[in-house]
Amino acid sequence: MSTDSPSTKSPLEKLRIQRPAETPRRSGVWRWLVGFLLLLGVVVGGLYLSQLGAQDSSSRWAMIAEAMESKVEVRLATLTVERGQAADATVVATGYLESRRQAKIGARAPGRIETVKVEEGSRVTANEILAVLEHADLDASLAAAEANAAGARAQLAEHLIEIERKRMDRDRAENLHLSNSVSAAALDTARFDFQSAIARKDSLESNIKLAEARVREAEQMKENMFIRAPFDGTVISKDAEVGESILPGGMGEASGRGSVVTIADLEHLEVDCDVKEDFISRVVVDHPCEVAVDAVPDRRYQGQVRKVIPMGDRARATIKVKVSILDADDRLFPDMSATVYFLPAVVADAVEPDRDLPRLFCDANAIRHDGDQAYVWVVDEQSRLSRADITTGATRDRRTEITGGLTPDSRVVIAPDSAQIGQMVKMSSAG
């Protein structure tokens, strides 16, 4: 029998994995299909672009070109419109309002607040009581001192009667001694008793002065419990409440209060402003000013230079100047921001018919010159540069008056020397 017959094969040899017949590769068909789809996309895209029209297509290409165009960075110049005397200002400075007199009012002795008689906004007069500290113990001390003084005065009154009696005894002894009815020793005794009574009177009068001094001391200690206004003003802050402790000299920040209220004289306000060193020579004491307060846009206040502080700020290159407001009203409060226009002395007295007409001012460093022609760079709605020829007036405090060629809503920029007409720009605020 043959060894290769099926009956003679082992079970392992009978186990085989049936594999399907291999199909022919179709890679060429897939490549042809992908290429056909790409070609179809290009054709459809071309048909779509042709339907948009030549005008839209050119507009899109212009937008792309514009986005790719380099932009030069420029700074916006400041354009301001001024009326009246402010337009003739030689220097312009900003600052904050402050009261000529302002004080935190505390106690002259430590204690606990018993009553506070005012609130924020209360108007007070000089010597008016603002608050009272507890002082029952001082009332008792004052009463005791007054009683001691009354006792000392009573002793003196009693002693005056004794002096009168001693004087009469002396006079009687002298008369009797003339008739030899009283011995010389008795006369001497009467005289010495009278002199002793006189000396005792001086001692009692000293005791009265001491007792009265102690009364005044007790009265002053009690008076220290009454916190009074040092000047006429308005309460602008309430710093303590009933029951809180007060320590004099501002030492109460850790364990108590240093002041009860803060008052300010709002009728005498001034502007604390900083003027650049370059222009401080134009600021003269007593010269007129015009003050614009941001919180009161519908009014300009009259001012006067009160003081130029003789100390400079090295870091900021400024000098501090105090400007008094001559016609302050109840709309002004400390710490409001304000702008001061320092005027030449002659402007205050000049009366011009067109002084209230608006006048336009521009940063002086934005103005360029082409020969005798002054011009500035302006930015249009497409953020492109264009040149605007202008006519100018006087330049003060780095501001030049524009008499023609611009409007208040013009976007004037400080462009570099390499700027060109039609150039795209990106703008930043004036620094």
- Check pLDDT > 50 for residue 81: yes
Written as six digits, the tokens of 316 are 């900021």
pLDDT, one tens digit per residue, over 242-272 is: 988 888 865 544 445 788 999 999 889 999 9
Residues 195 and 326 in one domain: no
Residues 343 and 330 in one domain: yes
Written as six digits, the tokens of 223 are 């008076």
Residues 217 and 323 in one domain: no
Query: Alpha-carbon distance 112 to 118, whole Å?
Result: 17
Written as six digits, the tokens of 331 are 């709309």
Q: 27-31, 153-157, 270-274 — which one is most confidently predicted on average?
A: 270-274
Query: Alpha-carbon distance 424 to 392, whole Å?
Result: 27
| Residue-number span of the structural domain to which 146 is assigned | 136-223
C-alpha 419 chain-centroid distance: 41
Element (H, E) at 72: strand 72-76
Residues 95 and 145 in one domain: no
* b/e sequence 265-283, b meaning 16+ C-beta within 10 Å: ebbbbbbbbbbeeebeeeb
Counted domains in the chain: 4
The residue from 349, 382, 416 where one domain ends is 349
pLDDT > 70: percent of the chain? 78
Beta bridge partners of 341: 92, 290
Q: In 3-state terms, what secondary structure has residue 161?
A: helix
Q: What mean pLDDT comes out for the span 26-31?
A: 63
Residues 128 and 232 in one domain: yes
Per-residue model confidence (pLDDT) at position 220: 92
Side chain identity at residue 179, one-letter code: S
Residue 362 lies in a domain: yes
Residue 392 lies in a domain: yes
- Check pLDDT > 50 for residue 175: yes
* b/e sequence 243-256, b meaning 16+ C-beta within 10 Å: eeebbeeeebeeeb
- Check pLDDT > 50 for residue 120: yes
- Check pLDDT > 80 for residue 229: yes
Element (H, E) at 362: strand 359-363
Residue 16 lies in a domain: no
Written as six digits, the tokens of 42 are 């290009």
Residue 152 lies in a domain: yes
Least confident of 26-40, 232-246, 273-287, 291-305: 26-40
DSSP string, 202-269: HHHHHHHHHHHHHHHHHHHHHHTTEEE-SSSEEEEEE---TT-EE-GGGTTTTTSBS-SEEEE-TTSE
Question: For residue 418, what are the contacts with CB-CB under 8 A and spacing of at least 6?
Answer: 72
Per-residue model confidence (pLDDT) at position 50: 62
β-sheet with 102-105: strand ranges across: 102-105, 261-264, 233-238, 123-124
Question: Domain holding 246: CATH number?
Answer: 2.40.50.100
Half-sphere exposure of 68 (CA within 13 A, CB side): 6
Residue 57 lies in a domain: no
The residue from 290, 320, 349 where one domain ends is 349
